Chain A
């Protein structure tokens, strides 16, 4: 089971970016929902939560039913309510957008109903009758938790192997703290495990401590939900200077440790994706001086969500567009600035155009490495960046399934939940076929 998180964590200073609804708010918003048929919000949800139905149940006061409707499709509905980029998913598709009225705040309503379920201790699901089948799940993140929970409803015994000593995966160590803090993710993981019959072995890395072939021998099926690997770096001089962090390492430090970044006056965040924007907002939230995002392309082509970048700008972020570091400069072993190459609008370097900026903290958010080695096995389909599966997570190797960032190339938590759930359906079919 999960090891306790440290009491003091750097993330504690953050407040909720989207504060929780009280009852009056929730009722007013729920009653505004049109209860559409074939609602586009459902189509935009990777887990296909019956959104109009759960909102109607808030409006009628059937909160237990509302939460059940959510969890039936998405057992991690509590964290997804906080971390989903609803602006580009359900909320973005709300029909009110088409009449230029504010869309329904689906995420906040989902949080209202699911938090209520946690607070009240409502239980919704029971494990199915024991089938005698055993499934191993690698990684204790959203994909495996979702998969294991569904497998338990079918009655299959589950063992999750997690190389860290905390459960929850990216939800615990990688979510921006103004969306959700680590303790909430651990609470959720333990709530999911509450269905019983899921053994969690932390501190066990498959491929290091236990071989994959041992798992194949000992279990009837395997689900692989190991996510992504360590931060990538640009391979420019000065990367070993103190004060240069990979983005994921930085976020994990503020999520899980009482990390302090004393004396930082200016921060440079390299990259233009969502992790980069998270780093920008986190550095600003921690009060680490001036924060500048350095991105190779223009604002128009940055891969990070527009609504997140807009919020970062409100927080006080600056950007240097069409720039990328060619070296980190340091003093006494500590980073002090960056030399930047200027790019044209096609992300091509402009010869001879270089600049320099100060920075005593550099956060490199240019992607994460891939953990494909574990599955370089006969039958497993993969390309250079992900495991290729069918809609049920089947990898091509009998009994081996995958989901989450490993298989989708890095999407949202809610995608991992959907893929874990759907893989469980496929594994169940595999285990029970005649």
Chain B
């Protein structure tokens, strides 16, 4: 059986699955129940000066009959007294010494950081996560993403935390920036032991068309919230990978953003995450989802021959390259399996209206469309819209041209194959 034991920035846990700092990690009873279900760690819901929340707080994005593919919230940090939180953290650590309990923090002044860090460590925190990411409410008060968007402030507060902390410090980064890398570097310069990302994306989840008020509605108004859930995964994957491959950045990463099952977790780890954090999938379906996450990861590792997580972590990072370094002479074309085709012609309409007009009705009258391979640019669109698994495959063509990238073409005169579909 593969070994899932995890070490992210010096914080250890029996497996890489941690609850993200959010409602599922709001109280001791919840976190203990989560650990009983199999979660390896939890990042406690952010502690700071307790706040007052609004109702309602959450909005869901539903698409073509699937509920909750995206999610947003306008909830703030903990609304429970700090001493209650610390007492419960202490109890959790006492009963679950091998599980990771990371305490998320968000305060303003250096004195406040010093005080809350001491109390967190006294309660038994295995690590701290500095919440520099919340894009709603708290940022209006000069915290959360207001800190995360300013590298100098990020670095300054990170250095305060490091000064007062005897346990590892993770900096949780906001995705609401143009380029994530300088913000990761700022945390690194401040002395952080690792980063976690992404926090939620500033968003308006939708508009109530009867009232013409955005959602989630608070009386007759709303505000921008933090967007998360399955739909944000591609954004999060990119930001994790952008840091993981940067030569100046060398901290461990705890990956967050739309992780809903073991496959998502493997993707984050392949792109450099050494632990993963989950919130929305737990909010929608409960702590029990971790059983499949653990088992699916174990089965994947066994199938791939991985015995430890470090054989997986970062495995795909070297393959994330610049566009200019991709092989322009690599050629694929679409092939339709006539035995599997059901004749919906979705590939044809997509190709005609959205791509390069190379899929046509069968001139012999069958319902199976035909691909004009001389025109097909190999874009994948037809395969993406095809509803039948395995019906459209993208086949590699040996065109006789040696591999050549744009950079090689520009700088070394490498020979490119003729363009297709560009007339």
B388 touching A24 by the CB < 8 A rule?
yes
A-B contact count (CB 8 A): 34
Min CB–CB distance B295 → chain A (angstroms): 4
Which of B189-197, B284-292, B404-412 forms contacts with chain A?
A: B284-292
Set of chain A residues within 8 Å of B285, measured between Cβ atoms: 35
Which of B262, B263, B292, B388 sits near A53, CB closer than 8 Å?
B292
Min CB–CB distance A42 → chain B (angstroms): 13
B299 touching A23 by the CB < 8 A rule?
no
Name B389's closest neighbour in chain A (CB-CB). Answer: A24
Set of chain A residues within 8 Å of B388, measured between Cβ atoms: 24
Interface: B261 (CB within 8 A): yes
Interface: B60 (CB within 8 A): no
Interface: B296 (CB within 8 A): yes
Give the CA-CA distance A24 to B261 in the complex, in Å.
19
Which of B288, B292, B389 sits near A60, CB closer than 8 Å?
B292
Min CB–CB distance A336 → chain B (angstroms): 51
Set of chain A residues within 8 Å of B263, measured between Cβ atoms: 60-61
Name B66's closest neighbour in chain A (CB-CB). Answer: A31
Min CB–CB distance A353 → chain B (angstroms): 57
Interface: A57 (CB within 8 A): yes
> Given contacts A23-B389, A24-B389, A60-B261, are A37 and B296 in contact (CB under 8 A)?
no
Name B285's closest neighbour in chain A (CB-CB). Answer: A35
Interface of B is mostly: helix
Which of A62-70, A204-212, A254-262, A263-271 forms contacts with chain B?
A: A62-70
Name B298's closest neighbour in chain A (CB-CB). Answer: A65
B296 touching A60 by the CB < 8 A rule?
yes
Name A62's closest neighbour in chain B (CB-CB). Answer: B296
Interface: A56 (CB within 8 A): yes
Set of chain A residues within 8 Å of B295, measured between Cβ atoms: 57, 62, 64-65, 68
Name B260's closest neighbour in chain A (CB-CB). Answer: A60
Give the CA-CA distance A116 to B396 in the complex, in Å.
30
B286 touching A37 by the CB < 8 A rule?
yes
Set of chain A residues within 8 Å of B299, measured between Cβ atoms: 62, 64-65
Name A59's closest neighbour in chain B (CB-CB). Answer: B261
Give the CA-CA distance A35 to B286 in the complex, in Å.
10
Name B284's closest neighbour in chain A (CB-CB). Answer: A35
Name A66's closest neighbour in chain B (CB-CB). Answer: B292
Which chain A residues numbered 8 to 64 have a C-beta less than 8 Å away from chain B?
23-24, 27, 35, 37, 53, 56-57, 60-62, 64
Number of interface residues of B (CB under 8 A): 15
Per-position binary interface string of chain B over residues 276-310, scored 1 when its CB falls under 8 Å from any chain A CB and 0 otherwise:
00000000011011011001100100000000000
Set of chain A residues within 8 Å of B262, measured between Cβ atoms: 60, 62
Interface of A is mostly: helix
Min CB–CB distance B123 → chain A (angstroms): 31
Give the CA-CA distance A37 to B289 in the complex, in Å.
11
Per-position binary interface string of chain B over residues 372-406, scored 1 when its CB falls under 8 Å from any chain A CB and 0 otherwise:
00000000000000011100000000000000000
Set of chain A residues within 8 Å of B286, measured between Cβ atoms: 37
Q: How large is the interface on A (under 10, 10 to 19, 20 to 34, 35 or more residues)?
A: 10 to 19
Min CB–CB distance A141 → chain B (angstroms): 31
A62 touching B389 by the CB < 8 A rule?
no
> Given contacts A37-B286, A60-B261, A60-B262, are A65 and B292 in contact (CB under 8 A)?
yes
Give the CA-CA distance A60 to B262 in the complex, in Å.
7
Chain B CB within 10 A, most for which of A37, A62, A64: A62
Set of chain B residues within 8 Å of A23, measured between Cβ atoms: 389
Set of chain A residues within 8 Å of B288, measured between Cβ atoms: 53
Min CB–CB distance A26 → chain B (angstroms): 10
Give the CA-CA distance A56 to B296 in the complex, in Å.
11
Chain A CB within 10 A, most for which of B289, B291, B292, B296: B292
Name A54's closest neighbour in chain B (CB-CB). Answer: B292
Set of chain B residues within 8 Å of A65, measured between Cβ atoms: 292, 295-296, 299
Name A64's closest neighbour in chain B (CB-CB). Answer: B299
Min CB–CB distance B50 → chain A (angstroms): 30
Set of chain B residues within 8 Å of A53, measured between Cβ atoms: 288, 291-292
Chain A CB within 10 A, most for which of B262, B289, B295, B387: B295
Give the CA-CA distance A244 to B228 in the complex, in Å.
69
Min CB–CB distance B353 → chain A (angstroms): 25
Give the CA-CA distance A35 to B261 in the complex, in Å.
14
Give the CA-CA distance A53 to B295 in the complex, in Å.
12
Which chain A residues numbered 232 to 278 have a C-beta less than 8 Å away from chain B?
none
Give the CA-CA distance A64 to B292 in the complex, in Å.
10
Give the CA-CA distance A27 to B388 in the complex, in Å.
11
Min CB–CB distance A30 → chain B (angstroms): 12
> Given contacts A35-B285, A53-B288, A53-B291, are A61 and B389 in contact (CB under 8 A)?
no
Give the CA-CA distance A57 to B388 in the complex, in Å.
21
Give the CA-CA distance A64 to B295 in the complex, in Å.
9
Give the CA-CA distance A37 to B291 in the complex, in Å.
14
Set of chain B residues within 8 Å of A61, measured between Cβ atoms: 263, 296
Per-position binary interface string of chain A over residues 160-201, scored 1 when its CB falls under 8 Å from any chain B CB and 0 otherwise:
000000000000000000000000000000000000000000
Name A52's closest neighbour in chain B (CB-CB). Answer: B288
Min CB–CB distance B351 → chain A (angstroms): 22
Give the CA-CA distance A27 to B387 in the complex, in Å.
12
Name B387's closest neighbour in chain A (CB-CB). Answer: A24
Which chain A residues numbered 84 to 116 have a C-beta less than 8 Å away from chain B?
none
Set of chain B residues within 8 Å of A62, measured between Cβ atoms: 262, 292, 295-296, 299
Give the CA-CA distance A64 to B303 in the complex, in Å.
11
Residues of A participating in the B interface, judged by any CB pair closer than 8 Å: 23-24, 27, 35, 37, 53, 56-57, 60-62, 64-65, 68
21 A-B pairs within 8 Å (CB atoms) are namely A23-B389, A24-B387, A24-B389, A35-B285, A53-B288, A53-B291, A53-B292, A56-B289, A57-B292, A57-B295, A57-B296, A60-B263, A60-B296, A61-B263, A62-B295, A62-B296, A64-B299, A65-B292, A65-B295, A65-B299, A68-B295
Q: A23-B389, A53-B292 are in contact. List 18 more A-B contacts (CB 8 A).
A: A27-B389, A37-B286, A53-B288, A53-B291, A57-B292, A57-B295, A57-B296, A60-B261, A60-B262, A60-B263, A60-B292, A60-B296, A61-B296, A62-B262, A62-B292, A64-B295, A64-B299, A65-B296
Residues of B participating in the A interface, judged by any CB pair closer than 8 Å: 261-263, 285-286, 288-289, 291-292, 295-296, 299, 387-389
> Can you list the 10 inter-chain pairs with the closest CB atoms, starting with the nearest?
A62-B296, A65-B295, A60-B261, A24-B389, A64-B299, A57-B292, A62-B292, A60-B292, A35-B285, A23-B389
